[in-house]
Structure 1
Amino acid sequence: MSKKSEQTLPKKDSSTNNETVDLGFSMRMDENQPEPQIPVDLFAIRPDTKGPKSIGVLLILGALVLFFQAYGDVGLHLSEDLSNEEVELILEVPNSQGDGSTELTVEQYQTFHDAARDSGGYALRGFGLVAASLLLFVGGIMLLFLNGLGAKLSLAGAVIGLVTGIAGSLLVKGAADTHLVGVLLFTYEVYSYLCGVCMIMCAGMAALPLINARARMALYPENRVVLEQE
């Protein structure tokens, strides 16, 4: 009889089923971990420091232009009589543009100059623009240093220049309506409107740092709102 050979198969170790593959890292999830939250100041308004400084530079340049205009008006107010050379230089272009029927003489323009001085138009516009230019200049410098008072001074100067500039220009225009004709009369009429437009632009620029939230926050950092999350 042949003897049956018993073959024994290798028995698998049950521990191999529980082996884990090591990937080099592990990730654990905590059920009690809070959900990520968006920072409360993510969409908060940030101070704008460049805007007020840019407005300050523009106001300083505008103040210099106004000062030269004011200097000319004050000089006209203090001049009782203009020289013939000055009047001829002023009348050269207007007289050359007409057909010859509306040419102005030196005596006519001198009469207009005396009437404009007596009306106070030169003085009102000149000294008013001097005050306006000084306030705009000082306010513009203060805005460069982010001082909120600079915007208020500039706005006050622009309002003073607006009122005195328009009022003085209307007085000068009244004298021009009486004593001038032709192109020069139209020039003084346009000048009164131009003065008002320029001063309104200055007032708008001066008020902008006080209206804009970001610029106002840069000028008044103590009024900044801080959001706190409990």
Structure 2
Amino acid sequence: MPHDHDDFAVEPVRGLPEALPEGEHILWQGQPAWWPLLTESLSFWWVAGYFTFLFAWRTVAGAATETWADAATAASFFLVLGLIVCALLLVVAVMQAKATVYTITNRRVAMRIGAALTMTLNLPFRKIANASLGLRKDGHGSIALELMEDDGARLSYIMTWPHVRPWKMKHTQPALRCIPDARKVAAILSEAAETAVSEPVIERVPAARPVAAE
């Protein structure tokens, strides 16, 4: 009997592991677009081109000792293998895009990522040193977040891939990858971060106890 099932129905707020504290509100939520994620993060065209090259190379090499038709038939193994690999990459891209939720609030950036093993990254604005925007001609883009290192915390590149800035392995930069209308989202993030950082931080310090005179 068919029925609808939401794997994240236990979330009190979509994309977040717990309800927002008082004074915090969501400014933007979004997900990666699966096609840009496939072509950029998963190198779809490079993989397709690699197997096409193997097919062409095997066909030309085989034509030296057999007919072109026989050589192409023998080399078609690489095309079949390439189609399988590309299909798997497509499935991964769709699953990653569907499972991911990026959230920007007035205090932090939250990233619910991972298709098989789901995790949520909470990145307060005061822990973000810089944000850089990579923009495509179609308006999609990625926003990479450079984190401060004063607290010694390090993110795993492998655990957070593909939601990271490529090749920044030593100092992993989590990223909002392949999001639509990235310029507008970057403006929302920039304004929220500037506002949050400019607010004074008030810490409660316990009052000192009076020292009894001897």
TM-score band w.r.t. shorter chain = under 0.3
* TM-score normalised according to structure 2 size: 0.27
The structure having more radius of gyration, on CA atoms, is 1
* TM-score normalised according to structure 1 size: 0.25
Q: Counting helix residues as a fraction of each chain, which structure ranks higher?
A: 1
Q: Counting strand residues as a fraction of each chain, which structure ranks higher?
A: 2
